[in-house]
């Protein structure tokens, strides 16, 4: 009470009240705007979650175990295996021990998976799920819990993007337009909607990046209005940076570009007002890198990262700059002081670059973990050269030697996601106008940064008298308080603390965090200058991400969402702040609002998709995949292959296998290891034309006992080895020289253990290989029954009822995939002779006669035998119905069959293929005069698969007066897709999903196989 200021005189009471009222009104507006931004962000996050659920709805048509296989391909399965392994372990301790001493990934080596891989998200979720199980709260399966957690995490990232759009534009509702752009371009900016990429590292890392950038935006723009809030922002920035590094191995490269962008804004663009944020960000980066390094048990990938070298260079440069005090005593506004500061900026930048280069050179001998990344980027030199003007392009002779891809680079460049940005992505951006809008936004931001200081210097309006009086009154009050404090403390008054959000540290009001005196803003509000810096930073960071995305198509995920943010901000008031001073404000702001609403309405007119096969409309077709062969392979491995046998397979296949079988793998798809890259190059001899003995020696050197070949990759491979002598070259070698073919007629070094429509498995024998036969002899031997008799005998005795269908599917692969009809005929005949009563063998024989041999009449008896053996198999019943209707044209037998199998039985069928069966049965029933039955079948078919191809084809038969397209415009198909989805079936590579039509238990884990074996033993 003694320190309280005296009451204001009556003359100043009114102005002070007016200022308070004005500030209260402005505060209310800010709170409303913030509330709208948060509400829009939350809403877009929820809608994004629903959007992803719609993309994945087709998985409900698959058995849950098969759906897991479909989603967890290659590296996705590899990472997920640590999650499932920890959940299935006897205890958390034992599960963690298996991760720290991992012997299943690079057999026979033991590695620390925490040190080598970014799997903390899987481990953390596994611990949470086990806790839920302990508490009795695990209401969903482990797979469902994992998948939904990832989708919610992605939705949080979408909410952060919407908040960024509101902040960058200054329009609280800009997040709506941002989400609309994102929806229209979803598959050009994200891979989460692709069900086969369910656990990529970027799915975890990218949402964290958007949260981190949002925190950094607030710090740069000075939105932290209190010390507590600013501390919270710094904590959020540091925590999100740490989690980003931990979750994605590529994160240091993006953070390097982010730090470069921030340093550019501060040093090159001259926004010294953000130096405190720059220094704080560097410190946060260092702390996050150190914490991640410790958590990853001293990962060499982080220790030798270029990002760490950059941080060292920046920290040294900024620290030495803080020691320089030559410009502190002069007037910050003089030309001399400005020139001195710019000279120091140049020296600081050169020092940072020199330190960065020196540290990189010192790290070079040890920096082998990510050398393949530089191999990939170096191959883009020719592309970058082609972008240059003709006069500046380099001839091929002057391009770097690494422009020619090495084996390591070729492994990635074969896939489209690692090539340069595809033309269809650019066309999609143009169609939805995001490129045009984002370009305009960038231009407006640059204009603001260039013109805003000039406009505010010469066009700044006079402050209202009430505000001036109020400010004077408050200053007098504060002065009287300070005077009172001086008198009571008997000393000099302390300097006033900085204004909230000014970025200045307590101490000297204009000093930065390193003690250097910074210039005041030129002719304007320091808050506006910090806004300029934040906007410029966002644009520079976006441009650097864009360059990276142009070079590597997969990194569209880094520049795509910021592109949507800039496009949504095109008519935002913050981008045109330099146009809104004085009287112009009352005209410009309403005009911007009207134009924004008009643009939003035009974009909504593009919905639900910008083209017939674009965006969500490209997802409205039936899904048919060949993962059935993979399911079959893994079931066989869990049942019949001894657990301790180490397996050699391709990187992609090994990653999938690790999630579902218990065998140790020789290689895996996580490529950040020089030792693994050397091992992969040796292992990929399996795709070439070496001799049996040389390949056997390679397997022995890798400690492999079993090798798996993928028939779909049995061709002259693009994975050429660096040692050209071992390559399989078309023109020089015959197809029979390939190991994937000639091992079937092995001279004794390899033994065929398993074969189906997609894979063959061989075991290395302890014998000596005989003389290698000529290619012509191999081709002849493959077609002889004697080559296969011993395998068929073993198959029948060991694999039982599954042997016949596997032989039939292998015959289809040899016919359609490997183009060897004589071999296919031999296998087909052996299967029919050995398993004449097997319904699936009869079905495949009928299908061959019907579709391939064009001997349709002969197929009928085989279809009939298959239908009798498999009376609940939707695929068999559909083919038999269609044969009776379309080929035999026997309406009597067809009517008898439909009436004998009444509608209740058919309508109660479950599994894949039911919708197509009911759809064809509806047409057949109508043809034979069973109209009521036809309507029931048709109603159920439309309810299950309204967008199915069968429904579209049979629509004119059931609705002769109305076309399918007339009834199903884009919006109608959109709502049917959201509500019902599309069907999904997974079968063999060259066959339908007939073996997976009826629900059953799949043995896709060692535990499931052991449980089934125990049940069989009891019986």
Q: What is the tens place of the pLDDT at every residue in 456-473?
A: 655 554 444 444 444 444
Please give the pLDDT value at position 515. Answer: 47
Please give the pLDDT value at position 12. Answer: 43
Q: How far apart are CA 232 and CA 1019, in angstroms?
A: 63
Does the predicted model carry a pTM greater than 0.75? yes
Query: pLDDT for 985-1004, tens place per residue?
Result: 999 999 999 999 988 999 99
Q: Is the peptide bond before 608 cis (omega within 30 degrees of 0)?
A: yes
Query: With b meaning 16 or more CB within 10 Å and e meaning fewer, what string describes 974-1002?
Result: bebbbebbbbbbbbbbbbbbbbbbbeeeb
CA distances to 449, 463, 599, 612 from 580, in Å: 14, 15, 21, 42
**DSSP secondary structure letter of residue 717:** -
Beta-carbon contacts of 896 under 8 Å, excluding residues fewer than 6 positions away, are none
Q: Determine the average pLDDT of the residues in 95-102.
A: 96
Q: Determine the average pLDDT of the residues in 964-968.
A: 89
Which range of 6-10, 479-483, 603-607 scores highest in mean pLDDT? It is 603-607
The pair of structure tokens assigned to 37 is 């931004």
Please give the pLDDT value at position 474. Answer: 40
585 pLDDT more than 80 = no
- For residues 738 and 688, the answer to whether their CB atoms sit within 8 Å is yes
Helix (H) or strand (E) holding 311: helix 306-323
Q: How confident is residue 922, by pLDDT bands cut at 50, 70 and 90?
A: very high
Please give the pLDDT value at position 457. Answer: 58
Classify strands 984-986 and 623-625 as parallel, antiparallel or unpaired.
Answer: parallel
Q: How confident is residue 396, by pLDDT bands cut at 50, 70 and 90?
A: confident
Whats the size of the chain, residue-wise? Answer: 1019
Q: At what angle are helices 142-169 and 174-184 packed, to 10 degrees?
A: 130
Q: Which residue has the tokens 């191995």?
A: 249
Q: How far apart are CA 153 and CA 161, in angstroms?
A: 13
Please give the pLDDT value at position 748. Answer: 85
Q: How far apart are CA 285 and CA 305, in angstroms?
A: 13
506 pLDDT more than 60 = no
Q: Determine the average pLDDT of the residues in 842-868.
A: 94
Q: Determine the average pLDDT of the residues in 285-296.
A: 96
- For residues 246 and 302, the answer to whether their CB atoms sit within 8 Å is no
Q: How confident is residue 27, by pLDDT bands cut at 50, 70 and 90?
A: low
Question: For the residues of 464-523, what is the DSSP string, one character each?
Answer: PHHHHHHHHHHHHHHHHHHHHHHHHHTSPPPPPPPPTTS-PPSSSTTB-TTSPBPPPPSS
Number of neighbouring beta carbons within 10 Å of residue 800: 9
3-class secondary-structure state, position 525: coil
Question: For the residues of 817-880, what is the DSSP string, one character each?
Answer: IS--HHHHHHHHHHHHHH-TT-HHHHHHHHHIIIIIS--HHHHHHHHHHHHHH-TT-HHHHHHH
The pair of structure tokens assigned to 129 is 């799920």
The pair of structure tokens assigned to 149 is 């957690």
Please give the pLDDT value at position 64. Answer: 92
Q: How far apart are CA 724 and CA 732, in angstroms?
A: 13
**3-state DSSP: the chain helix, strand, coil percent, rounded to 5?**
70, 5, 30
Q: How confident is residue 69, by pLDDT bands cut at 50, 70 and 90?
A: very high
CA distances to 149, 197, 486, 615, 617 from 620, in Å: 25, 18, 76, 10, 5
Beta-carbon contacts of 125 under 8 Å, excluding residues fewer than 6 positions away, are 83, 145, 146, 149
Which range of 490-494, 497-501, 974-978 scores highest in mean pLDDT? It is 974-978
Q: How far apart are CA 796 and CA 376, in angstroms?
A: 48
Q: How confident is residue 855, by pLDDT bands cut at 50, 70 and 90?
A: very high
**DSSP secondary structure letter of residue 712:** G
115 pLDDT more than 50 = yes
First-residue to last-residue Cα distance in the chain: 90
Per the prediction, the chain carries an average pLDDT of 86
The pair of structure tokens assigned to 813 is 């692969």
Beta-carbon contacts of 599 under 8 Å, excluding residues fewer than 6 positions away, are 177, 437, 570, 571
Query: pLDDT for 605-630, tens place per residue?
Result: 999 998 888 889 989 999 999 999 99
- CA torsion 87-88-94-100 (nearest 10°) is -70
Q: Determine the average pLDDT of the residues in 556-569.
A: 95
Q: Which residue has the tokens 């897709």?
A: 977
Q: How confident is residue 634, by pLDDT bands cut at 50, 70 and 90?
A: very high
**Residue of higher predicted confidence among 727 and 167:** 167
The answer to which of 813-827, 841-855, 882-896 has the lowest mean pLDDT is 882-896
Please give the pLDDT value at position 610. Answer: 87
**Residue of higher predicted confidence among 242 and 387:** 242
Question: For the residues of 720-758, what is the DSSP string, one character each?
Answer: --SSGGG---BTTB-GGGSHHHHGGG-SSSEEEEEE-SS
Q: Which residue has the tokens 């003359």?
A: 11
Q: How far apart are CA 17 and CA 39, in angstroms?
A: 33
Q: Taking the alpha carbons of 157, 161, 167, 170 in that order, is the dihedral positive or negative?
A: negative
Decide: residue 1003, CB within 10 A, 0-12 exposed, 13-18 middle, 19+ buried. Answer: buried
Q: Please tell me the number of Cα atoms within 13 Å of 153 on its side-chain side.
A: 24
Please give the pLDDT value at position 223. Answer: 58
Query: pLDDT for 690-711, tens place per residue?
Result: 889 999 999 999 999 999 999 9
* In the chain, % of residues over pLDDT 90: 62
859 pLDDT more than 60 = yes
Q: How far apart are CA 833 and CA 804, in angstroms?
A: 10
Q: How far apart are CA 481 and CA 465, in angstroms?
A: 24
Please give the pLDDT value at position 491. Answer: 45
Q: How confident is residue 174, by pLDDT bands cut at 50, 70 and 90?
A: very high
505 pLDDT more than 60 = no
Q: Determine the average pLDDT of the residues in 685-692.
A: 88
Q: Please tell me the number of Cα atoms within 13 Å of 760 on its side-chain side.
A: 23
Q: How confident is residue 976, by pLDDT bands cut at 50, 70 and 90?
A: very high
Cα 729 from chain centroid (whole Å): 35
Please give the pLDDT value at position 490. Answer: 43
What value, to the nearest 5°, has the Cα angle with vertex 161 and ends 160 and 163?
A: 65
93 pLDDT more than 80 = yes
Q: How far apart are CA 631 and CA 726, in angstroms?
A: 32
Beta-carbon contacts of 294 under 8 Å, excluding residues fewer than 6 positions away, are none
Query: pLDDT for 312-354, tens place per residue?
Result: 999 999 998 888 755 454 455 567 777 888 888 889 999 999 9
Q: Determine the average pLDDT of the residues in 127-137.
A: 95
23 pLDDT more than 70 = no
* In the chain, % of residues over pLDDT 70: 88
Q: Determine the average pLDDT of the residues in 40-45.
A: 96
755 pLDDT more than 70 = yes
Q: Determine the average pLDDT of the residues in 246-268.
A: 95
- For residues 937 and 963, the answer to whether their CB atoms sit within 8 Å is no
- CA torsion 720-725-730-736 (nearest 10°) is -110
Query: pLDDT for 837-852, tens place per residue?
Result: 999 999 999 999 999 9
Q: Taking the alpha carbons of 682, 687, 691, 692 in that order, is the dihedral positive or negative?
A: positive
Q: Which residue has the tokens 């009826």?
A: 998
Q: How confident is residue 955, by pLDDT bands cut at 50, 70 and 90?
A: very high
237 pLDDT more than 60 = yes
Please give the pLDDT value at position 201. Answer: 93
Cα 484 from chain centroid (whole Å): 62
Q: How far apart are CA 389 and CA 217, in angstroms?
A: 36
Beta-carbon contacts of 840 under 8 Å, excluding residues fewer than 6 positions away, are 804, 805, 808, 866, 870, 994, 995
Q: Determine the average pLDDT of the residues in 762-782.
A: 89
Q: How far apart are CA 609 and CA 343, in angstroms?
A: 53
499 pLDDT more than 50 = no
């Amino acid at each position: 009470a003694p320190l309280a200021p005296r009451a204001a005189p009556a003359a100043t009471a009114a102005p002070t009240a007016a200022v308070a009222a004005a500030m209260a009104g402005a505060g209310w507006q800010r709170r409303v705007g913030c509330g709208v931004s948060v509400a829009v962000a939350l809403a877009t996050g929820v809608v994004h979650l629903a959007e992803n659920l719609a993309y994945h709805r087709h998985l409900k048509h698959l058995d849950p175990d098969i759906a897991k296989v479909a989603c967890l391909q290659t590296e996705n399965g590899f990472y997920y295996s640590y999650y499932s392994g920890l959940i299935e372990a006897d205890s958390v301790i034992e599960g963690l021990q298996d991760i720290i001493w991992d012997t299943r990934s690079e057999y026979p080596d033991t590695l620390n998976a925490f040190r080598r891989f970014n799997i903390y998200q899987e481990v953390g979720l596994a611990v949470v799920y086990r806790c839920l199980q302990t508490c009795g709260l695990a209401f969903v399966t482990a797979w469902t819990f994992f998948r939904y957690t990832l989708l919610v995490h992605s939705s949080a990232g979408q909410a952060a993007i919407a908040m960024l759009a509101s902040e960058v534009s200054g329009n609280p509702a800009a997040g709506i337009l941002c989400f609309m752009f994102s929806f229209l371009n979803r598959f050009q900016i994200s891979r989460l909607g692709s069900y086969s990429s369910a656990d990529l590292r970027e799915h975890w890392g990218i949402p964290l990046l958007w949260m981190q950038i949002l925190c950094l935006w607030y710090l740069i723009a000075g939105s932290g209005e209190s010390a507590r809030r600013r501390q919270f922002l710094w904590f959020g920035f540091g925590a999100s940076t740490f989690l980003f590094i931990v979750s994605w191995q590529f994160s240091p490269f993006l953070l390097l570009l982010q730090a470069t962008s921030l340093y550019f804004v501060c040093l090159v663009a001259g926004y010294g007002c953000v130096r405190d944020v720059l220094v704080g960000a560097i410190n946060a980066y260092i702390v996050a890198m150190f914490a991640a390094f410790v958590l990853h048990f001293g990962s060499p990938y982080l220790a030798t990262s270029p990002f760490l070298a950059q941080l060292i260079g920046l920290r040294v440069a900024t620290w030495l700059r803080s020691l320089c005090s030559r410009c502190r005593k002069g007037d910050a506004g003089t030309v001399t002081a400005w020139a001195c500061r710019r000279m120091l900026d140049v020296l600081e930048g050169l020092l940072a670059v020199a330190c960065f280069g020196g540290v990189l050179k010192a790290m070079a001998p040890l920096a082998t973990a990510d050398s393949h990344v530089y191999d990939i980027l170096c191959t883009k030199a020719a592309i970058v050269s082609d972008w240059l003007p003709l006069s500046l392009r380099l001839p091929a002779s002057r391009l770097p030697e690494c422009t020619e891809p090495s084996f390591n680079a070729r492994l990635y460049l074969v896939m489209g996601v690692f090539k340069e940005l595809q033309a269809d992505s650019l066309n999609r951006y143009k169609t939805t106008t995001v490129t045009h809008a984002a370009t305009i936004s960038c231009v407006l931001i640059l204009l603001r940064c260039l013109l805003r200081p000039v406009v505010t210097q010469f066009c700044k309006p006079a402050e209202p008298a009430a505000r001036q009086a109020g400010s004077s009154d408050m200053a007098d009050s504060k002065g009287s308080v300070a005077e009172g404090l001086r008198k009571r403390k008997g000393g000099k008054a302390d300097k006033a603390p900085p204004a909230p959000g000014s970025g200045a540290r307590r101490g000297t009001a204009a000093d930065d965090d390193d003690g250097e005196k910074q210039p005041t803003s030129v002719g304007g509000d320091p808050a506006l200058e910090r806004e300029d810096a934040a906007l410029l930073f966002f644009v520079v960071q976006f441009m650097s991400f864009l360059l990276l995305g142009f070079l590597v198509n997969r990194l569209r995920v880094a520049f795509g969402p910021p592109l949507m943010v800039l496009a949504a901000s095109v008519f935002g008031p913050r981008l045109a702040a330099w146009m809104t001073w004085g009287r112009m404000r009352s005209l410009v702001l309403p005009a911007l609002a009207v134009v924004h609403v008009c643009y939003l309405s035009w974009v909504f007119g593009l919905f639900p998709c910008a083209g017939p096969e674009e965006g969500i409309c490209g997802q409205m077709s039936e899904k048919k995949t060949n993962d059935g062969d993979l399911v079959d392979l893994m079931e066989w491995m869990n049942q019949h292959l001894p657990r301790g046998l180490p397996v050699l397979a391709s990187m992609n296949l090994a990653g999938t296998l690790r999630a579902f079988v218990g065998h140790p793998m020789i290689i895996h798809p996580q490529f950040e290891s020089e030792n693994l890259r050397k091992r992969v190059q040796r292992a990929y001899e399996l795709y070439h034309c070496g001799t049996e003995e040389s390949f056997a020696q390679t397997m022995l050197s890798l400690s492999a006992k079993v090798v798996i070949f993928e028939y779909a990759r049995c061709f002259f491979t693009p994975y050429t080895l660096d040692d050209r002598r071992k390559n399989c070259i078309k023109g020089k070698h015959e197809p029979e020289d390939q190991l994937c073919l000639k091992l079937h007629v092995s001279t004794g070094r390899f033994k065929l253990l398993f074969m189906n429509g997609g894979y063959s498995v061989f075991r290395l024998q302890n014998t000596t290989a005989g003389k290698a036969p000529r290619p012509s002899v191999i081709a002849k031997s493959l077609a002889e029954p004697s080559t296969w008799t011993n395998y068929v005998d073993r198959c029948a005795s060991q694999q039982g009822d599954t042997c016949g269908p596997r032989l039939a599917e292998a015959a289809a692969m040899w016919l359609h995939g490997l183009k060897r009809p004589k071999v296919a005929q031999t296998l087909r005949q052996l299967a029919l002779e050995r398993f004449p009563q097997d319904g699936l063998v009869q079905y495949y024989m009928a299908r061959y006669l019907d579709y391939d041999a064009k001997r349709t009449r002969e197929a009928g008896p085989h279809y009939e035998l298959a239908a009798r053996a498999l009376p609940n198999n939707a695929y068999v019943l559909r083919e038999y119905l269609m044969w009776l209707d379309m080929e035999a044209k026997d309406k009597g037998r067809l009517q008898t069959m439909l009436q004998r199998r009444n509608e209740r039985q058919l309508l109660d069928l479950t599994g894949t293929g039911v919708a197509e069966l009911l759809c064809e049965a509806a047409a057949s029933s109508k043809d034979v005069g069973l109209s009521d039955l036809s309507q029931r079948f048709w109603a159920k078919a439309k309810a299950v698969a309204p967008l199915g191809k069968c429904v579209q084809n049979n629509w004119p038969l059931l609705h002769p007066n109305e076309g399918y397209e007339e009834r199903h415009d884009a919006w109608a198909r959109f709502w049917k897709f959201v509500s019902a989805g599309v069907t999904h079936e997974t079968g063999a590579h060259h066959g339908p999903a007939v073996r997976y039509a009826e629900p059953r238990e799949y043995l896709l884990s060692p535990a499931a196989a052991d449980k089934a074996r125990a049940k069989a033993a009891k019986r």
